[in-house]
C-alpha cells in the first residue's frame, strides 16, 4: 500500500495491538505518512523493532486495567487512535466458560473503551478534532461457530463506536469501526491453511480470498484522515463481500 495519499505530519497517533498483524501494518504505514506513532502492545521484541523505525513504544498488558490506565496517563494529547488490540478464544456456545468469556471481554471491549475514553479526554482538553478507529470484525455482523465470546465482544465494540460517536461528535471527534474478514497475519496463515477449514470460509467470500494486512490498514488510514472528515459512526466491512450475502 502506498502512503502517498495520506499526510499525517505533526499528528500523534496511538495504535494498540501494534506488536503484530493489523496493528503492526497500521503503525508502519502511519510512520510512512509522517505520523508520530505511539505503539502499544505486549511483545517487547516486536515493539523494539518498531522503536528502531521511529515509533514511541508503550509496553503494557491490555487486560491489566490499572497498568493500562497508568500508561495512558503518561501520553501527550493525541490526534488519532487505532484500537487494534484483541484476542480470540474459541469456545462453542454450549462450552463457554466464565474465565474465557471474561478474558476476551477484558481485552476486546473493556481495554478498548478505557483507551478511547482517555484519548478522547485528552483531545477535548486540547481542543483537537481527532479521529478514533475501533478494529472490530465481521464476527460482529454474522454468527460464527465456536466464536461466541469473540462475536459478542466485537458486537459490543460496534455498539461502543456508536455511543462514542454520539457523545464526542460535538467536540469534532469522529469514531468509526472497521470489520475485517480473516486477515492473513502469520498466525492466521497457520490457522487457516488447512483446506477443510479454509475452503468453506473462502466459498462465502465473493472475492474468493482472505484479506492482507495492508488491505485493512488502508481503510483505517482513510478513516483517520481528513478525506473522511464527514464520516462517523459507521461499521465498515472489509470482507470481500462476505457480509453482503
Model pLDDT, residue 145: 82
pLDDT at 90: 84
Partners of 59 in beta bridges: 41
Q: What's the gap between Cα 229 and its chain centre?
A: 19
In Å, how far from its chain's centre is CA 186?
A: 17
Nearest-angstrom CA–CA distance, 36 and 214: 19
Q: Which active-site residues does the annotation give?
A: 150
Which three cell numbers, joined as nine digits, stand for 181?
Answer: 474478514
Q: Which of 6-10, 80-84, 146-150 has the lowest mean pLDDT?
A: 146-150
Q: Angle formed by the axes of helices 21-32 and 44-52, to 10°? A: 10
Q: Using pLDDT thresholds of 50, 70 and 90, give the confidence band for residue 236.
A: very high
Higher pLDDT, 91 or 228: 228
Model confidence at 9: pLDDT above 90: yes
pLDDT tens-digit series, residues 44-61: 898 999 999 999 999 999
pLDDT of 2 strictly over 80 = no
Cell of 52: 528502531
Which are the contacts of 224, defined by CB distance < 8 A and separation ≥ 6? 6, 8, 13, 30, 80, 82, 131, 133
Residue 3 has pLDDT above 90, yes or no: no
Q: What is the dihedral of CA 82, 238, 108, 149, to 10 degrees?
A: 180
Residue 84 confidence (pLDDT) above 70: yes
How many Å apart are CA 23 and CA 36, to the nearest integer? 15
pLDDT tens-digit map of 183-224? 998 778 877 888 988 999 999 999 999 999 999 999 999 999
Instruction: With a cut of 70, say whether residue 1 has pLDDT above it.
Output: no
- Give the C-alpha separation, 139 to 79, whole Å: 28
H or E, element range at 179: strand 174-180
Between 213-224 and 21-32, two packed helices, what is the crossing angle to 10 degrees? 50
Reply yes or no on whether the pLDDT at 34 is more than 90: yes
Q: Is the pTM of this model over 0.85?
A: yes
Averaged pLDDT, 63-91: 95
Burial 188-225 (b: 16+ CB within 10 A, else e): beeebeeeeeeeeebebbeeeebbebebbbbbbbbbbb
d(CA 183, CA 199): 15
Q: Indicate whether 153 pLDDT > 80.
A: yes
How much is the average pLDDT of 219-244? 97
> What is the model's pLDDT at position 118?
98
- Among residues 241, 210, 207, which one has the least CA distance to residue 22? 210
The mean pLDDT of 218-243, rounded to a whole number, is 97
Query: What pLDDT is attached to residue 129?
Result: 98
* Per-residue burial over 104-130, b = 16 or more CB atoms within 10 Å of its CB, e = otherwise: bbbbbbbbbbebbebbbebbbeeebeb
Domains (range + CATH), the chain: 12-236 (3.40.50.720)
SS3 of 118, please? helix
Q: What is the pLDDT of residue 190?
A: 78
Mean pLDDT (the chain, rounded): 94
What are residue 103's DSSP bridge partners?
A: none
Amino acid at each position: 500500500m502506498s502512503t502517498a495519499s495520506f499526510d499525517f505530519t505533526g499528528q500523534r497517533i496511538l495504535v494498540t495491538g501494534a506488536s503484530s498483524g493489523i496493528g503492526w501494518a497500521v503503525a508502519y504505514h502511519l510512520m510512512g505518512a509522517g505520523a508520530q506513532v505511539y505503539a502499544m502492545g505486549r511483545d517487547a521484541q516486536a515493539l523494539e523493532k518498531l522503536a528502531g523505525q521511529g515509533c514511541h513504544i508503550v509496553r503494557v498488558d491490555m487486560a491489566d486495567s490499572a497498568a493500562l490506565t497508568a500508561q495512558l496517563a503518561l501520553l501527550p494529547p493525541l490526534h488519532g487512535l487505532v484500537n487494534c488490540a484483541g484476542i480470540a478464544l474459541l469456545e462453542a456456545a454450549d462450552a463457554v466458560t466464565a474465565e474465557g468469556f471474561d478474558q476476551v471481554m477484558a481485552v476486546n471491549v473493556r481495554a478498548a473503551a478505557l483507551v478511547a475514553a482517555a484519548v478522547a479526554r485528552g483531545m477535548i482538553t486540547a481542543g483537537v478534532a481527532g479521529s478514533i478507529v475501533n478494529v472490530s470484525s465481521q464476527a460482529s455482523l454474522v454468527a460464527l461457530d465456536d466464536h461466541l465470546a469473540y462475536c459478542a465482544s466485537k458486537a459490543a465494540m460496534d455498539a461502543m463506536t456508536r455511543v462514542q460517536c454520539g457523545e464526542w461528535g460535538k467536540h469534532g471527534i469522529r469514531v468509526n469501526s472497521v470489520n475485517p474478514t480473516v486477515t492473513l497475519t502469520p498466525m492466521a496463515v497457520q490457522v487457516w491453511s488447512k483446506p477443510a477449514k479454509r475452503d468453506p470460509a473462502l466459498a462465502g467470500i465473493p472475492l474468493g480470498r482472505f484479506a492482507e494486512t495492508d488491505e485493512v490498514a488502508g481503510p483505517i488510514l482513510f478513516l483517520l484522515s481528513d478525506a473522511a472528515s464527514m464520516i462517523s459512526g459507521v461499521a465498515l466491512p472489509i470482507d470481500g463481500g462476505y457480509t453482503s450475502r
